Structure 1
Amino acid sequence: MSLDDVNVELQGRRARLKALADADVTNISEVYCMGEELGRGRFSVVRQATHLKENMGYAVKEVENESLDDEENLEALETEIKILRKLRHPHIVNLKEVVTTDAYTYIIMELLSGGELFHRIIEKGCFPEPEAQNLFAQILMSMEYLHGMNIVHRDVKPENILYCSAGSNDIKLIDFGYAGIWSAEKPLTGLCGTPDYVAPEVLTWYDEDDTGTPYGKGSDMWSMGVLLYVILSGCSPFNGEEEEQLLKLVAEAKYEFYEKEWEHVSAEAKELITKLLVVDPAQRYTMEQTLAHPWLAEAVAKARAGVVLAKSQEASNKQNAPPAPVDQTPAVRENEKESVASCTSCSIL
């Protein structure tokens, strides 16, 4: 490839990044004061930041544009942003805007200050059933919404569930870096997710020979089963010393309810887990079956009422809000296509 061809290709990628953005600036410091690091991903750093005009805190995912020279990485970022723009739910993180510079792309999201579910599990050891029911029902509300839009998260785990604030029990689902759009005509492919939580059908892509089994929403339901096991026991159902051993246990759904962790957990809760951790996705519990399970009936009703109330409050706040000031920052995002390309080549973290 000639130097001219390289420059044309780089210009094309830069144009695609600008098309994703709400604003293109010389330096992010023109708009936000960047603060402490909150976490790291494969190609990104998440930082706390303050909007200079609003004096409001946000979480900012900072992606180095050089990492997007790889077409797969760029497509994954495009998919993540396009999906985030579609979502508005009380239990899913809200996207504020996307800002680009020559060196970085910034995804600006609401700041959730209550910490990860992962850390609360470590602190508590495990959740008593009433708390676990209410927590799990909230997570199901977010997943039901996604699946209703044919979006599959593909990385449901405690680290991707954040509490809204330190004193709150309200949660939101985050991190749509692996999310994809499912359809009967074009099911999902590729190896995505985290080993402890990934579904057996997703593991069929482990050898990267493009002969795996296409999959869909059921892969999230498996992850929900693992998540419920962890919430109730404080332990993972699959405990291989080496990754290969762990993945074999997952592929065969080999796990147990050990008496020490499970003697005080009801048979109904354990039965729901066994219905979710089924190797064959056709036999695995669906979202509808999970929501209708007797163990969750009261918690699901409470969670649904909470969603309705939150949406009503949001609508009221919008109606009563003063007109927003005109933003002088040039917006460059082009008309966004409705179609969202699914990620077809992912890797386990």
Structure 2
Amino acid sequence: MSSPWGHLASLNGPLAFHTLPSTHHTLGTAPTCDISLPTAATSISQHHCRLLLLGDMPCLENLSPHGTYVDGKHVEGATKVSLTNGAEIRLGGDTFFVFTNLLEDPKLGVFEGRVVGERYYVFGGYELGKGSFATVRLSVDLKTGERLACKVIQRGKGAREREREGRKPSSGTVIARETAILKNIMHPNLVQVKEVVRTEECVYLFLTRVTGGELFYYVQKHGGMEEHAAKFVFYQILLAVQYLHNLDITHRDLKLENILMESSNPFGRILVSDLGLAKMLGTSLSRMRTQCGTLTYVAPEVLASSGTGGDGYGKCVDCWSLGVLLYTMLSGTLPFGTDSDGQLLATRIKRAEYDLEGEEWERVSPEGKHLITSLLTHSPSARLTISGALSHPWITKRGDLLRLLYRKMIRRSPDAGRAEWVGREAARRDLVRLFDTGAY
């Protein structure tokens, strides 16, 4: 070909970039490979995989008995899979690559990215996600080779000028709050901030990299979750929120989009993310008044608070949001509808108008329904707390096994570099068996 159709970034040791000009490129330990890898990598074959162009479609063909991982999915046998822009490729152990599709975006003829803080490389060719104040991009620690998610917050000219004058912009308040909280917490079910780097133009937050996607997409794809799977996921979320509440921190924006999955399987680790709306409370009796969060998950007392008026609200707003979460996980629908008609939605929330009727609720246990109604209670004082939820029969019935499976899963955490957890299938089988027999 006269021009390259792709780029490959090697995240192993010193960052390296490879151009893909011909129709196929072989990766492996053999010296004859187009991209030759160290022979010490025992789980990498001499000819491990091939990147090739089929028509105008970039593909990866597995050549190894060990298989190859593309975006966390195991490719086995002589199988070909298409490669999208930004696809992450793993060849055994911790040998990672990132693919850039020049046919999809010809403007990326040269790798877009920058080194930040003299240690981190932030990819600029594609986005992992986008929020109100930030864009999330893949990054790599050049010293350790660790893949991270980097939240990039642009600092506009007006914001920089206000900061120089000593006046913080609204986005700056969110940045400072999220940074202060995240850098001082550590829990296996909370996204961790590794480092924060500020430049004249941007603020970079380097975070735990989670590859399984948002819980939202899983629920959307499957139309909800089976109850035993929802229980394992919800238990982890409860532990994360309990940790925050014990530190007098209220999340204030718990929703499916802010619950991340370690893998595409619901029996992996779950991480709560995006504490940008969290607020550190001086005491457990402190009240908040700011109307914030996502409307479909917002508690009635938040809608009733306005500025300095009203009674304000406390940490139990998170418990309401957890009720919305559990309702949606079990049914695949939102209890109060969508944001399409904000006024009608707010009215339903203020009245706590929802139902547990319909075919989707016939398969949900009475304990599961009771936990939802206990969390979606209009009165904050009558609403179930996090401790109460963890003590609820839906959780405590065979809770010893739930805790055992959780501890086993944490011990096998992929934080050391593995993308999959050994024993996850065994955990799934145990939960399904117990649920099917009525013992769980």
Aligned residues of 2:214 and 2:261 also touching (Cα < 8 A): yes
CA distance in 2, matches of 1:130, 1:274: 19
Alignment of 1:279-294 (within 5 A): 279-294=378-393
Aligned residues of 2:285 and 2:314 also touching (Cα < 8 A): no
**Among candidates 27, 33, 46, match of residue 121 of structure 2:** 33
Alignment of 1:110-259 (within 5 A): 110-167=208-265, 169-182=268-281, 183-184=283-284, 186-205=286-305, 208-239=306-337, 241-259=340-358
Report the AA paired with residue 33 of structure 1.
Y
Q: Which 10-residue stretch deviates more, 230-239 or 258-267?
A: 258-267
Normalized per residue, the structure richer in strand is 2
**Among candidates 53, 56, 69, match of residue 143 of structure 2:** 53
CA distance in 2, matches of 1:134, 1:251: 30
* CA 85–243 in structure 1, closer or farther in 2 if over 3 Å, else same: same
1:72-120 CA distances to partner (integer Å, 9 max, x unpaired)?
Answer: 4323221111100111111111111111111111010110001110011
The residue that corresponds to 2:16 in the other structure is none
Segments of structure 2 that go 5 or more residues without pairing to the other structure are 1-113, 163-167, 417-440
* CA 196–285 in structure 1, closer or farther in 2 if over 3 Å, else same: same
Aligned residues of 2:115 and 2:122 also touching (Cα < 8 A): no
1:159-214 CA distances to partner (integer Å, 9 max, x unpaired)?
Answer: 00111133552110000000011224532220111011011111123xx4431332
Report the AA paired with residue 73 of structure 1.
S
Aligned residues of 1:134 and 1:299 also touching (Cα < 8 A): no
CA distance in 1, matches of 2:196, 2:213: 23
Count of residues in correspondence between the two structures: 288
User: With CA pairs under 8 Å and 6+ residues apart, which has the higher RCO, 1 or 2?
Assistant: 1
For the pair shown, the structure with the greater C-alpha radius of gyration is 2
Aligned-pair Cα RMSD in Å = 2.3
Aligned residues of 2:289 and 2:307 also touching (Cα < 8 A): no
CA distance in 2, matches of 1:59, 1:300: 34
1:201-228 CA distances to partner (integer Å, 9 max, x unpaired)?
Answer: 11123xx443133211100000000000
3-state SS in 1 of match to 2:122 = strand
Report the AA paired with residue 128 of structure 2.
L
3-state SS in 2 of match to 1:145 = helix
- The question of 1:276 aligning with 2:366 is answered no
CA distance in 2, matches of 1:211, 1:260: 42
Report the AA paired with residue 130 of structure 2.
R
> 1:152 offset after TM fit, Å?
0.6
- The question of 1:263 aligning with 2:263 is answered no
Aligned residues of 2:148 and 2:207 also touching (Cα < 8 A): yes
Aligned residues of 2:121 and 2:139 also touching (Cα < 8 A): yes
CA distance in 2, matches of 1:204, 1:179: 19
Alignment of 1:12-23 (within 5 A): none
3-state SS in 1 of match to 2:334 = coil
* CA 305–192 in structure 1, closer or farther in 2 if over 3 Å, else same: farther
CA distance in 1, matches of 2:261, 2:410: 18
Report the AA paired with residue 136 of structure 2.
V
Report the AA paired with residue 199 of structure 1.
A
* CA 218–258 in structure 1, closer or farther in 2 if over 3 Å, else same: same
TM-score (norm 1): 0.77
Aligned residues of 1:76 and 1:177 also touching (Cα < 8 A): yes
Aligned residues of 1:90 and 1:310 also touching (Cα < 8 A): no
Normalized per residue, the structure richer in helix is 1
